[in-house]
Amino acid sequence: MINDPELLALVTDIINREAKFLDKRDWEGWLDLYHPDAVFWAPSWRDEETLISEPQTSLNLVFLEGRGKLEDRVFRIETGDSYASLPLDRTVHVVGNITLDSVSEEIVSASANAIVHSFGRHGRQTCASMYEYLLDSSENGLKIKQKKIILIDDAVAGPIDIYHF
């Protein structure tokens, strides 16, 4: 773990802003946090104790390479034509336990835990996740280069989308 309060404050800010943008449905703000080459990845569980590790040869819950694939999800929601997305579930993300794990010249590695509560036509559920971020620091400010979401709930009740993670 890295002891760098100034950097930790920046990292905490971008992680908290992501949660806020998702809960507020500020899709443009949310997308803008991501690097154009970002990866948004929620692996599935290989078995009770092991996650799949190789996304190119294993099934993921979500594996989106490039910010464009995130834009697809927003596009679908905004068409108003997605059965599962009209009306949208309400969500609250509570994110904490943020740590700086490593820092290199251009990449900051950080992790956090999240509890996401959602409510909507398909009922209410609370899902818990561990987030692992790679943040690009090569330009002014930070951009999300990779977000890996380890959803500890193995069975999901109802449809879920990027804003439920």
Partner 1 sequence: MDGPLLNKDFGALVDDREAEGVFRVDRSVYTDPEVFELEMARIFEGGWVYLCHESQIPEEGSYYSTEIGNTPVVVIRQKDGEICSFINACSHRAALLTPRKQGKARVLTCRFHGWAYSCDGRCVRIKQEEEGYGGSEFDKSKYNLRRLPLTQSYRGFIFGSLEEGVPPLMKSLAGAAGWIDLMIDQSPEGLEVVPGSSTYTIHGNWKMQIENSVDGHHVSTVHRVFASTMRNREERDGLTGLAKTEGGRITGKVPSGAYDLGNGHMSIWAQHTTPERRPIYKRKEWLQANLPPGKVEWILNRGRNLTVFPNVALMDNPSTQIRRVRPISPDRTEVTVYCIGHVGEDAEARAARLRKFEDFYLTSGMATSDDMAALEDTFVGSHARSARWNDFNRGLHSMISGPDNLALSGGFEAITSSDSWENENLYLGFYRRWRDLMTTGGKG
Tell me how far apart the alpha carbons of residues 87 and 98 are, in angstroms, rounded to a whole number. Answer: 32
Q: Please report how close the Cβ of residue 52 comes to partner 1 at its closest, in angstroms.
A: 4
Contact characters 103-122, partner 1, x per CB under 8 A: ------------------xx
Binding-residue pattern over the window 27 to 46 for partner 1, x denoting contact by CB under 8 A: ---------------xxxxx
- C-beta closer to partner 1: residue 52 or 98: 52
Give the residue carrying structure tokens 């773990």.
Answer: 1
Beta strands in 66-122 (DSSP E): 90-103, 107-120
Task: Tell me if 7 contacts partner 1 by CB under 8 A.
Answer: no
Among 115, 128, 152, 157, binds partner 1 (CB under 8 A): 157
User: Which CB sits closer to partner 1, 16 or 82?
Assistant: 82
Query: Whose CA is closest to 74, among 134, 23, 25, 19?
Result: 25
Strand partners, 34: 144
Q: Which stretch binds partner 1 (CB under 8 A): 5-13, 60-68, 103-111, 136-144?
A: 60-68
Using the contact rule CB under 8 A, the part of the chain among 15-23, 31-39, 59-67, 109-117 near partner 1 is 59-67
The rounded distance, in Å, linking the Cα atoms of 108 and 21 is 21
| Residue found under tokens 């309400």 | 90
Q: 29 vs 26, 37, 38, 88, 141, CA distance in Å? A: 5, 17, 15, 18, 15
Does position 67 interact with partner 1 (CB under 8 A)? The reply is: no
First to last CA, the chain: 25
- Give the binding site for partner 1 (CB under 8 A): 42-48, 52, 55-63, 66, 68-69, 71-73, 75-76, 79, 81-84, 121-123, 154-161, 164
